[in-house]
Structures are given as C-alpha cells and as structure tokens.
Amino acid sequence: MTLIKSLFSDGQELINKEVSLFGWARSVRRSKNVAFLALNDGSTQGTIQVVCDENLANFEEVSGKLAGTCFSVDGVVVKSMGKGQSIEIQAKKVVVEGDVSSEGYPLQKKATSLEFLREIPHLRARTNTFGAVFRLRHSISFATHQFFHQENFYYMNTPIVTASDCEGAGELFRVTTLDLDKLADGEKKKVDYNFDFYKKPAYLTVSGQLNAEAMAMGLGRVYTFGPTFRAENSHTSRHLSEFWMVEPEAAGFDLNDNMDLAENYLKYLINFILKENPEELAFLAQHYQKDLVESLEKVRSSNFVRLTYTEAISILEEAMKNKKVKFEYKVAYGTDLQSEHERYLTDVHFKGPVFVTDYPKSFKAFYMKLNDDNETVRAMDLLIPGIGELIGGSQREDNEEKLLARMKDAHLDPETYDWYLQLRRFGSIKHSGFGMGLERMIMYVTGMSNIRDVIAFPRFPGSAEF
Ligand code: 4AD
Ligand code: MG
C-alpha cells in the first residue's frame, strides 16, 4: 500500500507506475461515464483524485457510493489535467472495503459542527479538522522529544500512582482496590488501609515534578511527559480531568534559565510545525482562525515579555482606572490572576506571550523558592494569547527548613514527603523546572477554542465515555 502522503511527495517519479492505496472518500462525483473519488487515508491533509471510467468492472457500484465509504484502489499514477492537483490515479481495480450507506452513519451530513462531533469522538478522526488536529498533536509530541534530547535532557517516566499531592491542592483521584460499596453502609467508619492494595492512601498523579526533581539530582537534566489527573470540578473550555504534561527539571538552573528554556522550547515547537505541517495549518487557518500562521510566525521571532506579578497588578489597575477595560473579578495585590486578567495582558496590553514571575506565596505551591522578601516566590507562569496559562514553573525551594515550613502551612504531612526533604539534605543544588499542558499548546497552534477538541477521548467531570 502506498500512502497518499508519499504519492504527493514522490508523485513525479511515480508517473506511469502502478500503485495500490486505500482511503475514505471525502466525495464521490459522477458524470455520465466517469466517476471521481477524492480519497484521504489520514497520512496527510489533502485528497488524491481517483478517476474511474465505465470500463471498471464494478463502475455502477463504485460510482453510487457515499462520502465516507472506504475504498482500496489499484491504479496508475498519471499527470492530472484538472485544477488543484498535479497527479491523479487512473483506477484499474476498485474494491469497496467499508460501506456507509446503511442507516445511522452520523457523518453523512455535509457540515457537522464541532459540538456534534464531540458526541462521536470514535468517528471524528476521519474528518479533515480532526485529521489536522491529531497530526499536529503528533508533531508537537515528537518535536518535544527532539528538543529536549538536543538540549541534553533525559526522558524519564515518573509514576502515575502516587501517595503525594504535588500541587497541594487536594484535587486527587483515589486509587483503591477496596470495595467501596461495602464501605458505604451509612456508618461513619474509618478506612483500614491495611486491607488496601498499597496499604496507604494512593492517588493518580497531578504532576510528575517531585519525582522528576529526584531524578534531576542525579542525571542533571531530565523531563517527564505523561498523563496527569486532576479531580478539579472545572467545566471550562481549558480544563480536562486527564491531560498530558511535559515537565523538564534541571539542576543548576535558576528562574531565568528556566524561562529561557521555556521560551526556546515553545519557539522550537512552532518552527517545527511551520515546517512540517503547512497544509494542516492552512486548513485550520481557513476554517477556524484566519491569522493562525501569521501569529505563530510573529511569536517565533518575538522576545517574550517578562514582568513580575506586582508589575502585572499595576498594569491591570491602571487599565481599570483609565476605564480601558472592565473586569468581572476584582484586581488586588494578593489574589490570583483570573483568566480575564491574563487575557488582558496577552491579548490587549502586550499582544504576545508574557512571563509573569514572583507571585505571592499565599496562592502558589509549597515547593517554590521563597524570595528574600519572605512574601513572594520564584514562580513563573507563561501566559499566551487566546489561551491564558500555558506553562507553570518555578525555581525550587532548596532550603530544607524553609521547605518544611511551607509544607506545614499547606497542611502536608512531612512524613509522606520525607524522601523529598532528603533531596535537600543530601547533596542538593539549586534547580528549576516547569510544566506545559500539552492540550493547551495544541489549542494554541490549531486555533481550536475548546480543549475537548484536541485530545482524542476527553475526560471531564461527568464524562468518561469511550
Ligand atoms: O501550573 P501547574 O499546576 O504546574 C504543575 O503541575 C507543576 N508541578 C509543573 C512543574 O513545575 N513541573 O500545571 C502546569 C500546566 C498548566 O500551566 C496548564 O497548561 C496545564 O498544566 N494544566 C491543565 N491542562 C488541562 N487541564 C487541566 N485541568 C490543567 N491543569 C493544569
Ligand atoms: Mg499553574
């Protein structure tokens, strides 16, 4: 079988040669004695035109099929006389592999909304939109490994089942083999974990960071890239309960090194897809975000703004004072930035990606390094236009006493985290890292506005279908 992608790249050399291929028909057009199949096999954005003339044994059958039918074809590659393509296939033999004319095929309508397709994720991979999105998702993942390899980071796999709450936010899914039906007998009983699989409370990880830190304290530069889980009851277009996170961690890095790494990484990803996926990007630009390619090109050659949380608050207060904008949520020093505030910074004020650093410790995770002011931490969030927070990271607290104090403030049990404290006690060095939400990045580069449209089978509150 020849992939349609290879037909397009090697087309001129293949002229007059015989090939075998398959594909799903995007359209079947018939005139009197000739039929045209536009086939796509998922390998690329475009379709190859297959010309069937009436000498074909099953011409009547083939030319009567609907869009969505899967065909396999033996034929000869020829120069195309038609507009919009340089080659086409003159069919010698066509087999109807999978028919769709039986009742109930939901993709027969011409235009299908994203909302409608969200109800049938098991079928949406065969649409042009989702083909483009998932090929881009592949490219971003692949380029991630290339980038970190080139920067001398080693790929680690941190555990998915864990006893610790990395973010200290209590948004954990429990992992247990206990019979919950038996526990729920109405009486207030204490769970005896001796009967549970791990003999202690266990959860799905919210982040691989703590384990990555341990690995970085021996391998120097590492990254983990895996699924993470948050039992956060958020019904927004930017939250999933199962999402993928890329988390580098580097010994010897301070916060500025960390931001440099994040900025270079993002630009590398953008460069990669601009080179590798021009057809996908052109398609998505045409249908979802007109300026997609220009805005990616602009970001790749811009310097990302870096400012402190305190400066960000001043900008927002100033904008409100001058009646440039009205916010639903109050802007006040000491409270976290809401997404409307983040959007103002990226979309209106700076018109590009922005690093916000040095947030108050009160709403940031326990592991972030305390500044000398005892009030703010060496944190950085990267905010990007249209999305908001894409990356969260920090320099890590490397002083054991300070770390212990922050853990107590966050009501974390020091015993559970003793191994993490030991990393400070034994042969420690300053280190930093960050986490990038893969799906948020895919949203950014595809122009998709709902996170449920950039992961194959989204999980969110109330939904673990498929
Ligand atoms: O800011 P977060 O919570 O940071 C951490 O988990 C750190 N431990 C990372 C580190 O330093 N190694 O999450 C990091 C990123 C966010 O910026 C966002 O892009 C994404 O993960 N994210 C989500 N994406 C989809 N759905 C959710 N519910 C998400 N929560 C976070
Ligand atoms: Mg965050």
Nearest to 377 by CA among 398, 351, 353: 398
Q: What is the pTM of this model?
A: 0.96
For 285-343, give the DSSP string. HHHT-TTHHHHHHHHHTSPPEEEEHHHHHHHHHHHHHTTS---SSPP-TTSPPPHHHHH
Burial of 384 (0-12, 13-18, 19+ CB in 10 A): buried
Minimum CA distance residue for ligand 1 atom 31: 437
Q: Choose one of 162, 172, 207 to mutate for the ligand 1 pocket test, by most ligand atoms within 8 angstroms of C-beta.
A: 207
Which numbered ligand comes closest to the C-alpha of 440? 1
Q: How far is CA 175 from CA 164, 172, 184, in A?
A: 12, 9, 17
Cα distance between the two ends of the chain: 30
Q: What is the pLDDT along the chain (466 residues), one digit of tens a residue?
A: 999 999 999 878 899 999 999 999 999 999 989 999 999 999 999 999 999 999 999 999 999 999 999 999 999 999 988 777 789 999 999 999 999 988 888 887 766 899 999 999 999 999 999 999 999 999 999 999 999 999 999 999 999 999 998 888 889 999 988 877 676 666 667 788 999 999 999 999 999 999 999 999 999 999 999 999 999 988 899 999 999 999 999 999 999 999 999 999 999 999 999 999 999 999 999 999 999 999 999 999 999 999 999 999 999 999 999 888 899 998 999 999 999 999 999 999 999 999 999 999 999 999 999 999 999 999 999 999 999 999 999 999 999 999 999 999 999 999 989 999 999 999 999 999 999 999 999 999 999 999 999 999 999 999 999 9
* Residue closest to 208 by CA, chosen among 165, 251, 146: 165
Q: Whose CA is nearest to atom 29 of ligand 1?
A: 239
> How many CB atoms within 10 Å of residue 284?
23
Longest dimension (CA), the chain: 84
**Which of left, alpha, beta for 412 (phi over 0: left; psi -120 to 50: alpha)?**
beta
Query: CB under 6 Å to ligand 1: residues?
Result: 166-167, 207, 209, 230, 232, 239-240, 243, 245, 247, 389-393, 433-437, 439-440
Amino acid making up residue 149 = H
